[in-house]
Amino acid sequence: MARSALLTVMTQAALKAGRSLTRDFGEVQNLQVSMKGPADFVSNADRKAEDIVFQELSRARPDWGFLMEERGIVEGKDPTHRWIVDPLDGTTNFLHGIPVFAVSIALEREGQIVAGVIFNPATDELYSAERGGGAFLNDRRLRVAARQTMNEALFGTGIPFFGRGDHARFLFEARQIMAESSGIRRMGAASLDLAYVAAGRFDAYWEWSVHPWDIAAGSILVREAGGILTSVDGSKFDHMKGDLACGNEMIHKLLLGRLASADASYQRARTGSAATE
């Protein structure tokens, strides 16, 4: 595929940061059995990757701002453009030596995501998309899956964990989807969940409370691959809001219906629980 100058800049930054992560990933399993603890090491790996992306993108577009996982908001002279970056999405996977993690870079122009790159260095898979230009995995054009029924569909999601998310609500949602689908997968990296929807590996994906740097790049991948993307309640998707549901037109519609049903059951259970207290 022929990349635009913009995507070339983003790709080079992602690949360079990915090479840094690959070197550090090779050390993670050794750290698992040391008394030093691997968490600090992974934090350093995260920061090194972010430094690389920041330097590469700043050199190419010095007036543009950033929203980054570690640095937070970095104001630029040009208020209409902003890079949204997660240098290591899937930190827990990385920490445990699981090769499912990615560098995620998106470009926001006047509040809209117009380009995105996601790179998993462990598998050498580079996903990219630019508004109006389609979505690609390396040099292959992507299209969302064509399956039309719940029982054929495979769903991606995120599962709440210690200190994060609404555990009870997720159990209602999972029960609803499990009963009718081909299965649910939890990859542990939202950027790759969205990339998998774009690639047709997942038929749909939903999650709550996701950071904008985890989903910004993936959102344009899904759209450019022909997918539908909204908030979980069906309203307009906002990458700054942090909840989303996506898939092809039919599976997305079916997913929203099942999630609404799960939410109704969850709210009834909460009301009943409160009444008995």
Domain with CATH 3.40.190.80 in the chain: 150-275
Binding annotation for Mg(2+): 69, 86, 88-89, 214
The pTM (predicted TM-score) of the whole model is: 0.92
Binding annotation: 69, 86, 88-89, 214
Written as six digits, the tokens of 212 are 């904008």
List pLDDT tens digits, range 92-150.
898 888 999 999 999 999 999 999 999 999 999 999 999 999 999 999 999 999 999 99
**DSSP strand pairing (125-130 vs 102-109):** unpaired
Average pLDDT of span 244-254:
98
pLDDT band at 33 (very low <50, low <70, confident <90, very high): very low
Selected from 3.60.20.10, 3.40.1160.10, 3.20.20.60, 3.40.190.80, the CATH number assigned to the domain covering 150-275 reads 3.40.190.80
Sign (positive or negative) of CA dihedral 209, 210, 216, 219 = negative
Domain with CATH 3.30.540.10 in the chain: 5-141
The residues near 6 (Cβ < 8 Å, ≥ 6 apart) are: 107, 115, 130
The answer to whether 203 and 248 have CB atoms below 8 angstroms apart is yes
List pLDDT tens digits, range 228-245.
999 999 999 999 998 999
How is the beta sheet containing 154-157 ordered, strand by strand? 183-185, 154-157, 204-207, 244-247, 228-230
Q: Assign domain 5-141 to a CATH class.
A: alpha beta
